Amino acid sequence: MAVTVTALGQLEAMGFDDVIDVRSPSEFAEDHVPGAISLPVLDDEERARVGTIYTQVSPFTARKLGAALVARNAARHLEGVLADRGGGWRPLVYCWRGGQRSGSFASILAQIGWRVEVLAGGYKAWRALVVQAVYDQPVAAPVVVLDGNTGSAKTEVLALLAARGVQVLDLEGMANHRGSLFGAMGAQPSQKTFEARLAYGLAALDPGRPVVVEAESSKVGECRVPPQLWKAMVGAPRVAIRAPLAARAEYLARAYRDVTEDRARLSAVLEQLRGVHGAEVIEGWLGLAAEGAFEALAGDLMARHYDPRYEKHRARMGGAGVEVEAGGLSEADLAGLAERVAAAVVRVSPAGAG
């Protein structure tokens, strides 16, 4: 039986025991339905072989080879990952378009006696819902941008706001990147996976309450912010954290310990700034890094590099805003700062507290 999904939240509500992606490993790696497990019925090389035979020999020969490969791979999954599934197991299976690959695997599972269903339209249909959510529809809730110069603890404050019940969209969490030259946190998701995470975040919003988004450029690392959200961010009212340079430098030295503990990585990132700053400035920064003077390094980077650029970026934003003073940014200070930011969000948003 084919299941038609018209909204992103439907699959979770249907309560399938497993969602199975039978596409090739490379297709799964690029993007997949959240929570799906990869059980390919054709790997990348097998899929290429079948496709070549389909176009160069005949569709019949390709289907015959494909059936043999699917049966062989299905047996491996049944004897491996699925060996412990009981008689009441209820899976959903999908492939690229809900066609032969998912249908073949689902038929085998159904013959065993499992209550298997196939996603109508496959990944392509689900992806269309993601595209609709992030490219075609305006953001349902009124957006408020959490602003502030580099080192203002915006990311931690955003998490504290979420813990207090404020609606947030954590773009840096979705992109697995802190948004700056030093912000890499490991491999980033593909653009499609980033958009899927964002689509689910947007779908969960209460349109009657504001949603807070951290100020970002149009890219978070290599992930591009879709135009509808970017347009909303540019015109949104802003709550800016104002913190002294010394407090921001201390915060950055603490928050970016993963960078400062890797001297080779830190030096490599500083070297990337040679096209922007003179050799004397770069050598000074490298010297501070070598000495372990990370607060001094952070302070000089902000004064010479980040703060001037942030002011230019802020000047292009259209929304009015308010400032929230932060005397310090220690862990003890952040809870109170988050409370003041939450109150400011209510003041600047047309939706108020909701």
Q: Please tell me the distance from the alpha carbon of residue 155 to that of residue 175, in angstroms, as a whole number.
A: 13
Please check the confidence at residue 353 and state whether its pLDDT lies above 90: no
pLDDT recorded at residue 178: 87
DSSP 83: T
Please check the confidence at residue 318 and state whether its pLDDT lies above 70: no
Fold adopted by 2-132: Oxidized Rhodanese; domain 1 (3.40.250)
Among the residue ranges 28-37, 304-313, 341-350, the one predicted with the least confidence is: 304-313
Fold adopted by 139-348: Rossmann fold (3.40.50)
Please check the confidence at residue 303 and state whether its pLDDT lies above 80: yes
pLDDT tens digits for range 190-236: 999 999 999 999 999 999 999 999 998 899 999 999 999 999 999 99
Please check the confidence at residue 57 and state whether its pLDDT lies above 90: yes
Average pLDDT of the chain is: 93
CB–CB of 101/23 below 8 Å? yes
- At residue 313's C-alpha, the angle toward residues 309 and 315, to 5°, is 120
CB–CB of 333/243 below 8 Å? no
| Phi, psi torsion values for 125, nearest 5 degrees | -70, -40
pLDDT tens digits for range 136-154: 999 999 999 999 999 999 9
Q: Is 95 considered catalytic here?
A: yes
Q: Where are the domains of the chain?
A: 2-132, 139-348
Task: Determine the average pLDDT of the residues in 288-317.
Answer: 87
Rg (CA), the chain: 25
DSSP 216: -
Return left, alpha or beta for 153; rule: phi > 0 is left, psi -120 to 50 is alpha, else beta: left
Among 42, 95, 161, 302, the active-site one is 95
Q: Which two tokens stand for residue 279?
A: 């050799």
Among the residue ranges 73-82, 147-156, 172-181, the one predicted with the least confidence is: 172-181
Q: Please tell me the distance from the alpha carbon of residue 126 to that of residue 26, in angstroms, as a whole number.
A: 18
- Residue 1 confidence class, pLDDT cut points 50, 70, 90: confident
Q: Please tell me the distance from the alpha carbon of residue 94 to that of residue 219, in angstroms, as a whole number.
A: 31
Identical fold between 2-132 and 139-348: no
Please check the confidence at residue 313 and state whether its pLDDT lies above 80: no
| Nearest Cα to Cα of residue 103 among 56, 58, 51, 66 | 66
- Could you tell me how far CA 264 lies from the centroid of its own chain? 27
Residues 6+ apart with CB under 8 A from 57: none
pLDDT recorded at residue 317: 67
**Given the structure tokens 């699917």, which residue do they identify?**
70
pTM to 2 decimal places: 0.91
| Nearest Cα to Cα of residue 119 among 17, 9, 20 | 20
Among the residue ranges 34-48, 205-219, 267-281, 318-332, the one predicted with the least confidence is: 318-332
| Nearest Cα to Cα of residue 253 among 201, 219, 298, 215 | 298
